[in-house]
Amino acid sequence: MSIFTAPVLNYSLLAPILIVLAGAVLGVMIEAFASKAIRPVAQLSLTLGTLILAIAQVWRIRHQSSLTAAMGSVAIDGAAILMQGAVLVIAILGVLLIADQEQFTVLAAAVPGSEEERESLESGQKLTEVYPLTLFAVAGMLVFPVSNDLISLFVALEMLSLPLYLMAGLSRRRRLLSQEAALKYFLLGAFSSAFFLFGAAYLYGYSGSVSLAGIRDSVVGGSGNDVFFLIGIAFLSIGLLFKVGAVPFHAWTPDVYQGAPTPVTAFMAAATKVAAFGAMLRIFYTAFANAYWDWRPLMTVIAIITMLFGSFVAIAQRDIKRMLAYSSIAHAGFLLAGVIALNKAGLDASIFYLFAYGIATVGAFAIVTLVRDSTGEVTDLKRWAGLGKRSPFAASLFATFLLAFAGIPLTSGFIGKFSIFSAAYESGNKAIVVVGVLSSAIAAYFYIRVIVLMFFTDPADDGTSVVIPSMLTRITVIAAFIITIFLGVFPAPLLNFITSLAYFIR
Amino acid sequence: MNAANYLYVSALLFTIGAIGVVVRRNAIVVFMCVELMLNAANLAFVTFARINGNLEGQVVAFFTMVVAACEVVVGLAIIVTIYRSRRSASVDDASLLKR
């Protein structure tokens, strides 16, 4: 009989993840036992409290690092701390948007247009399941970038995806569209995680170990069957590239961004990108670093196609959410340039870029939730004409976020793009820098076109207006605006902080 | 028996699943094909555990089963909701977002 040894866990280092999971479980309990009247307030305060507590824990452990926090399954190091912090900050801003319950249906199971749905809406109840779902997704996003073996990578990938599939289908208006987005997101997401798992199986076959360190040892030692390695790296990358929305695995992005309730889109677009790129950076910088000759050429091609495709197709979009979706594809291309750079500067730049881009994305989608007419949100770009004349404040904030996406100086986007491209240049990859700058110029065209449309076109009289935002939405927008400008004008404190912390332990 | 044969079976199952996802139109069948792909990966893991002579691959297979079960819960919920709204589970009917 073999002896079972209990695993040793370092609870102090795992605190952020455990707190978020505990908050999510408590949220399910509230959902089951609390009365309907107190649920919205209880859930919102529990969710925000959990996230703030988790941030405090991340701050507390910022200088620590350990490979043995959970028996080698997770690696807590500077880069992990930064990624977790970014996810949590974005999640707090996202939850403040999700708290605007106007966006969500009350009874997700009710058939659209049915008597049941009408009654549930008239009862004035709120949908509160979305808070625990958000916390479960956040927990997955905290585990994904710190995972140090293939098992926790796969489990974290599913843990962050499954709640998001459900959240995409919860929109109150245009419910068929929303359900369709959920179906597409789910089927394509499950398809890509099957690829991820199959790749993981072949990497295990190649190295005989599921840990990233074991795979790295095999790569360095050159032992093992190279065919297994190539199959493994290709299929694993497909799964990761799908999550970040890189061409040719981007097909879900515009549909899901458009169909999902806008607060969910804001949270998902920003936080998933941080988590997925966090995991990608760890895998490629540690496990696959020494085999860069095998993956760098193809990844360079994918990055170039992604940047160009995202920028060109965004020009043709007539829907603001779809336009932002294609712009997120282009940004995935810029971030891939940071992954390919494979140097310390690339890591620092990617983390800064992820944070800056995530905050600006939440802010931009927050403004989209405010532009409404009598039937709900207005996402048709034509009807945004003249918005700057009617509501100059909201339109100027939106213009700031667009300028940050375009990478105009004095916004966070400029510092992000500049540091990513200089890291790519440093690594000797000039093609990607040239294409990156070119596609930034193309992208600037459609961002500035929206600004021109808002400020220099006469408004059409069709009932489109900016609603007075709730206190929570206002906090999100203002915070996102301040961070975007601050990082553009005084990037040094955050850049230095990232440079001092960003490293991967092996 | 040569362990490599199991890898061929696994690759074959994965391919059948992937082709099924691409060509079948019913959401339930598409989803079943995804499950087939997950099981193909499981078979590969177990085979590699045998080839490498350690247990890690078998442990992964258990994790995959649990995750696949969770995926069924979420997936069927989404597919049933969409079926109730449209009286159809065809992925071709769900095309409002393209327009």
Give residue-wise pLDDT tens across range A235-245: 999 999 999 99
Q: How far apart are CA A158 and CA A137, in angstroms?
A: 9
Give the residue extent of every domain in chain B.
Answer: 1-84
Q: Which two tokens stand for residue A86?
A: 């970014």
Judged by a CB distance cut-off of 8 A, whether residue B17 touches chain A is yes
Domain span holding position A95? 15-501
Structural domains in chain A (count): 1
Q: How many CB pairs under 8 A join A and B?
A: 133
Interface touch B96/A151, C-beta < 8 Å: no
Residues 59-98 of B with CB under 8 A from A: 59-60, 63-64, 67, 70-71, 74-75, 77-79, 81-82, 84-86, 91, 94-98
Q: Does A107 touch chain B (CB under 8 A)?
A: no
Q: What's this model's pTM, rounded to 2 decimal places?
A: 0.95
Q: Which residues of chain B have pLDDT under 70?
A: 1, 94, 97-99
- Asked if residue A491 has a cis previous peptide bond (ω within 30° of 0), the answer is no
Reduced to 3 states (helix: H, G, I; strand: E, B; else coil), residue A378 is coil
Residue B1: CB atoms within 10 Å: 5
For A440-475, the pLDDT digits (tens) are 999 999 899 999 999 988 887 777 788 888 889 999
In a domain, A244, yes or no: yes
For residue A213, being part of any structural domain is answered with: yes
- Report, as an integer, the average pLDDT of A234-263: 93
CA angle A280, A77, A299 (to 5 degrees): 15
* B50 touching A (Cβ < 8 Å): no
Residue A147 pairs in a beta bridge with A74
- Asked whether A201 and B48 are in contact (CB, 8 A), the reply is yes
> What would the DSSP string read from start to end of B32-60?
HHHHHHHHHHHHHHHHHHHHHT-SHHHHH
3-state secondary structure of A6: coil
Separation CA A67–CA A213 (nearest Å): 10
Rg (CA), chain B: 17
Contacts of B17 in chain A (CB under 8 A): 194
The answer as to whether A1 is a domain residue is no
Q: pLDDT value at position A434?
A: 94
In a domain, A377, yes or no: yes
For A468, what's the count of Cα atoms within 13 Å in the CB-facing half-sphere? 1
Second CATH level (architecture) for the domain B1-84: Orthogonal Bundle (1.10)
Residues of B in contact with A194 (CB under 8 A): 14, 17-18, 34, 37-38, 40-41
Q: Write the DSSP string, A101-131.
A: GGGB-S-TTSPTTSHHHHHHHHTT----THH
Both tokens of A41, joined, read: 């307030």
User: Tokens in use for A168?
Assistant: 């995409």
**Across A368-392, average pLDDT:** 86
Mutate to test the interface with B, among A150, A188, A204, A326 (most CBs of B within 10 A): A204
Q: Which whole-number Å values give the CA distances from A401 to A372, A393, A412, A450, A477, in the listed order? A: 19, 13, 9, 12, 10
Decide if A154 and B64 are in contact by the 8 Å CB cutoff: yes
pLDDT band at A398 (very low <50, low <70, confident <90, very high): very high
> Is residue A334 included in any domain, yes or no?
yes
| Percent of chain A whose predicted confidence (pLDDT) is above 70 | 100
Query: A204–B77: do the CB atoms touch at under 8 Å?
Result: no
The total number of residues written for chain A in this structure:
506
DSSP state of A48: H
